[in-house]
C-alpha cells in the first residue's frame, strides 16, 4: 500500500431520493397508464420491481422529441397495464423453456 490517504467524496446518484412503490404507481398512472388502480400497481411494482417492469413498458412510452432513440412519459394513448403484464409473463415462460432445454445439453 502507498501512503496516500486522500479520500474522495462521491455525490449520490440519482440526485433525487428514492420513491415508494405507491409514488411510482401514481407517477405511471398520471403518465397515462390505464387499466389498473394505484394500489394494485403498487403491489406489482413491489413484487416484480419497477426497473424489471420498465423494460416491458418501454415500447409504450412516447418518443422523446429531442432524442428519438429515447422514450419518456407519458405512455402512448391507450396503453393498458394488462398488455405489459402479459409481455412480462410470456417472457418468464419463454425463459423457463429455454433454460430447461439448455440443461440437458450442458449435462450431455
pLDDT band at 5; cut points 50, 70, 90: low
Cα separation, 77 vs 33, whole angstroms = 8
Across the chain, where does the E strand assignment appear?
A: 61-63, 71-75
Does the structure show a pLDDT above 60 at 1?
no
The count of other CB atoms within 10 Å of the CB of residue 100 is 9
Q: pLDDT over 70 for what percent of the chain?
A: 91
Reported as a single tens digit per residue, the pLDDT across 31-52 is: 999 999 999 999 999 999 999 9
Mean pLDDT over 65-90 rounds to 96
75 CB-near residues (< 8 Å, 6+ apart): 28, 31, 32, 33, 34, 57, 60, 61, 62
Q: How far apart are CA 4 and CA 24, in angstroms?
A: 43
pTM: 0.79
Confidence of residue 62 (pLDDT cuts 50, 70, 90): very high
Count CB neighbours of 48 within 10 A. Answer: 14
Amino acid at each position: 500500500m502507498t501512503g496516500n490517504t486522500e479520500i474522495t467524496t462521491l455525490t449520490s446518484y440519482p440526485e433525487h431520493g428514492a420513491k415508494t412503490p405507491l409514488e411510482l404507481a401514481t407517477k405511471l398512472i398520471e403518465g397515462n397508464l390505464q387499466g389498473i388502480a394505484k394500489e394494485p400497481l403498487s403491489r406489482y411494482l413491489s413484487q416484480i420491481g419497477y426497473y424489471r417492469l420498465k423494460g416491458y413498458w418501454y415500447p409504450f412510452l412516447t418518443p422523446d422529441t429531442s432524442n428519438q432513440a429515447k422514450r419518456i412519459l407519458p405512455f402512448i394513448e391507450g396503453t393498458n397495464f394488462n398488455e405489459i403484464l402479459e409481455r412480462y409473463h410470456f417472457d418468464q415462460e419463454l425463459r423457463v423453456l429455454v433454460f430447461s432445454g439448455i440443461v440437458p445439453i450442458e449435462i450431455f
